[in-house]
């Protein structure tokens, strides 16, 4: 995080349920680390913090009671008075929109949350939620966080991209480098990669996607940057994307992600055609 800040990075994305899937963890560990870091560096005012509610095992769903409790717990772990962007981490159709959005309205009025967003919603449900907000003068989702990257396009582009464009909001996509596959570390014949994400990345190991990597190799050489930088640059050219999310496990990986490059129209067309 020090290296990220030194590069000029100021937006950090987390969730209350990170990393409850790790043995011995219960969730909240990521927020705790981020909060401790911001306090020790005294830099909260210069950071933009996004976190999420509804998928933590001990705080499931989008009822008002759960949102209020989860928000307080996240604020405490983050050691801050306000969450800049608060996501509904997944939809909860068992709760009326009035209750969920009303809870967010209270948190915003109290200064505990600035903006709200949605993740893992269907296009229809996103439209319904935003229309309800508009019709009832309630806070509205300003962004989505959906899976989208150069080798995983179909799910988002099928309908959600058009929905996001028509609603005038944006996507802050996760898995921006396809769980590490688009870093170029995973190639035909390479069986071992030192990464906890290796199994997920190998899901993308297809002949078509290896062709994408080959095209990225040439473009990366032209710009003298990493393949990860090319993957994120492609996402930035997409009209409904505001900023992509990518995870780094080491400072070396972070340095690759922070290489910002502007692709030419021709380079974008090449990547679009192959992928």
Catalytic residue check, 156: no
d(CA 242, CA 228): 17
Is residue 90 within 8 A of residue 157, CB to CB? The reply is no
Q: What are the Cα distances from residue 100, in Å, to 65, 128, 209?
A: 9, 13, 40
Please provide the distance, in angstroms rounded to a whole number, between the alpha carbons at the two ends of the chain: 32
Q: Looking at the DSSP assignment, which residues form a beta bridge with residue 144? A: 118, 171
Q: Which of 4, 18, 86, 87 is catalytic?
A: 18
Helix axes 123-135, 97-109, angle to 10 degrees: 60
* Among candidate residues 97, 104, 30, 92, the one with its CA nearest the CA of residue 67: 104
**Strand boundaries in 180-272, DSSP class E:** none
Query: What residues are annotated to the active site?
Result: 18
């Amino acid at each position: 995080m020090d290296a990220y800040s030194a590069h000029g990075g100021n937006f950090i994305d987390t969730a209350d349920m990170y990393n409850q899937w790790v043995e011995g963890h219960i969730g909240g560990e990521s927020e705790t680390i981020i909060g401790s870091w911001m306090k020790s560096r005294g830099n909260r005012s210069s950071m933009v913090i996004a976190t999420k509610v509804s998928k933590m095992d001990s705080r499931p769903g989008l009822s008002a009671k759960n949102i209020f409790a989860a928000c307080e717990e996240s604020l405490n772990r983050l050691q801050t008075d306000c969450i800049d962007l608060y996501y509904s981490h997944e939809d909860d159709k068992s709760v009326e929109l009035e209750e969920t959005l009303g809870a967010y309205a209270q948190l915003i009025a109290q200064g505990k949350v600035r903006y709200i967003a949605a993740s893992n919603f269907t296009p229809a449900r996103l439209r319904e939620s935003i229309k309800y907000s508009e019709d009832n003068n309630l806070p509205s989702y300003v962004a989505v966080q959906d899976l989208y990257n150069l080798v995983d396009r179909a799910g988002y582009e099928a309908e959600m991209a058009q929905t996001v464009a028509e609603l005038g909001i944006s996507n802050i996509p996760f898995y921006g480098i396809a769980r590490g596959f688009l870093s170029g570390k995973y190639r035909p014949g390479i069986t071992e990669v030192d990464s906890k994400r290796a199994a997920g990345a190998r899901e993308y190991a297809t002949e078509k996607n290896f062709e994408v990597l080959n095209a990225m190799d040439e473009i990366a050489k032209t710009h003298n940057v990493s393949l990860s930088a090319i993957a994120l640059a492609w996402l930035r050219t997409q009209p409904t994307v505001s900023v992509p999310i990518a995870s780094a496990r080491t400072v070396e990986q972070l340095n690759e992600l922070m290489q910002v490059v502007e692709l030419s129209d021709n380079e974008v067309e090449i990547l679009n055609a192959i992928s």
